[in-house]
A = this chain, B = another copy of it.
Amino acid sequence: MNRIKAEIISIGNELLAGITVNTNAAYLAKQLRSVGVETFWITTIADQKEDILAALKTASQRARVVISTGGLGPTPDDITKRTICEFFGVQLKFDAQVFEDVRRFVTKRKFFLNQVNREQAVIPECDRVLRNLKGTAPGLYFNRNEVHYFFLPGVPHEVYHLTEKDILPMLKEIFNLQPLKTHLLRTTGIPESRIIEKIGDLVETYKNIRIAFLPRFRGVDLRFTAPDNNARTLSDFDALVNGVRQRLQKYIFTEDELEIEEIIGRILKLKLFTLSVAESFTGGLIGDMITNIPGSSDYFLGDAVTYSNESKMKLLGVQAQTLEKFGAVSKETVTEMVRGVQKLFGSKCAVATTGIAGPTGATETKPIGLCYIAARVGDEERVMKFEFGTERIMNKRRGAIAALELLRRLLLKID
């Protein structure tokens, strides 16, 4: 099977200044992969004619699909349109349909149509206009010498819109391709080098299967990809995935593209359980993560972020003598917090966090990163002590993940 190679060209001074992170490229690569087109190069360049021409030339020599983002907006630093004309040897022209789309978009938002908007309807003569219903700059498609070029604006939700509406269906039709078989194993609690030790021989045996190790702060993700759809390859693929699954079993947290807050949500929905949260260390992050999931109001009752001793006592009923004797950052306090919040909201399940997120707040006996987490399901309760690092935001994220993982294991009765 021939691999369809793609190149993504990201145009924008803001990307090169490090002000904007290139999420568009990651999104596009993932979407392309889902239809069987593999990204081999992502090239980020400035809004400069010479650089754009050079990048297009290079891409035209090595890729079958070229997708460019950015540089199509109304601002004066955007010179992409004229450069596109030069590269393909075409002219700019006023497009009535595009102007109508721009007019509708602008007036719907109660802005006034202006000269800048009119200029947005002046576009290079292309093989197909990708109508943009979420913004003012349309996408452009060219087909030259068996290479397929797509030019998109840089605003992320417009990129998503045009990719899903036009690019993916067009690519499927053009190449008539089956997607590559992939599988994901998400682990937690085991470092990358230990994983290699445990599964190195399997990786060696099934060399033909590609495997990527993706370290995250919550653990290492393993992504397997079959290079083709031959029967032999697919059987090797299954053997490798099954082998790795067996060796890493207790560290595997999900096999889907899911975050832990989604898994918690699914379990709670299935069991018809409700949840409440008490946060000190994590400051609202757990509540935020849980409520990012659509439908979370079905099981999530609420969250008491108690950042002061007073609020821990008043809202959660933590005893003054507990705080005095053991301190706010203690096993005893987190236990009273989780019991208190379960009672406060009348929920079946509860989690609580307390700790020293840093960079200040450490004492002689309690270092930055120290954190206690408790979880309850009915009368069953677990409490764990953690020692995270020194970076505040990282600590909060790790604490939130650990809290949800503690709850998950309690819910599923895993040790």
A208-254: which have CB < 8 Å to B?
A: 210-215, 221, 223, 225
Q: Are B41 and A17 in contact (CB under 8 A)?
A: no
Are the C-beta atoms of B303 and A213 separated by less than 8 Å?
A: no
A115 to chain B, nearest CB (A): 8
> Which residue of B15, B39, B73, B303 contacts A192 across the interface (Cβ within 8 Å)?
B73
Identify which of B20, B203, B215, B288 contacts A283 (C-beta below 8 A).
B288
Q: Using an 8 Å CB-CB cutoff, how does the interface string of A176-216 with B read, 1 for contact, 0 for none?
A: 00000000000000011110110010011000001111110
Instruction: Specify how many copies of this chain sit in the oligomer.
Output: 2
> From A283, which residue of chain B is reached at the shortest CB distance?
B291
Residues of the B chain whose Cβ atoms lie less than 8 Å from the Cβ of A45 = 40-41
Known: A19-B221, A193-B111, A212-B77. A44 touches B43 (CB 8 A): yes
A410 an interface residue at 8 Å Cβ cutoff? no
By a CB distance below 8 angstroms, the chain B residues around A214 are 14, 19-20
Residues of B within 8 A of A41 (CB): 16, 43-45, 51
Q: Chain A interface residue count: which class?
A: 35 or more
Q: In the complex, what distance in Å separates the CA atom of A308 from the CA atom of B347? A: 11
Min CB–CB distance A361 → chain B (angstroms): 7
Per-position 1/0 for A331-351, Cβ under 8 A of B: 000000000000011100000
Q: Cβ of A23: which chain B residues have Cβ within 8 Å of it?
A: 21
Instruction: Note all chain B residues with C-beta closer than 8 A to A300.
Output: 283, 307
The winner among A28, A40, A284, A345 for most chain B CB atoms within 10 A is A284
- Give which listed residue, B20, B40, B155, B297, contacts A51 with CB less than 8 A: B40
Structural contact, A116 and B307, CB atoms closer than 8 A = no
Residues from chain B with a CB closer than 8 A to the CB of A204 are 76
Asked if A33 CB lies within 8 Å of chain B CBs, one says yes
Contact A76 B203, beta carbon cutoff 8 Å: yes
Is there a chain B Cβ closer than 8 Å to A60's Cβ?
no
- Do A301 and B297 touch (CB < 8 A)? no
A371 to chain B, nearest CB (A): 14
User: What B residues does A367 contact at CB under 8 A?
Assistant: none
Give the residues in chain B near A290, CB-CB below 8 Å: 283-284
| Inter-chain contacts of A10 with B (CB < 8 A) | 42
| Cβ-closest chain B residue relative to A109 | B191
* Known contacts A20-B26, A277-B305, A308-B345; 8 further A-B pairs (Cβ under 8 A): A10-B42, A16-B41, A18-B30, A76-B200, A77-B211, A279-B287, A283-B291, A283-B296
> 12 A-B residue contacts at CB 8 Å?
A15-B25, A18-B28, A21-B23, A40-B45, A40-B51, A42-B43, A76-B204, A283-B291, A284-B285, A285-B288, A294-B358, A296-B307
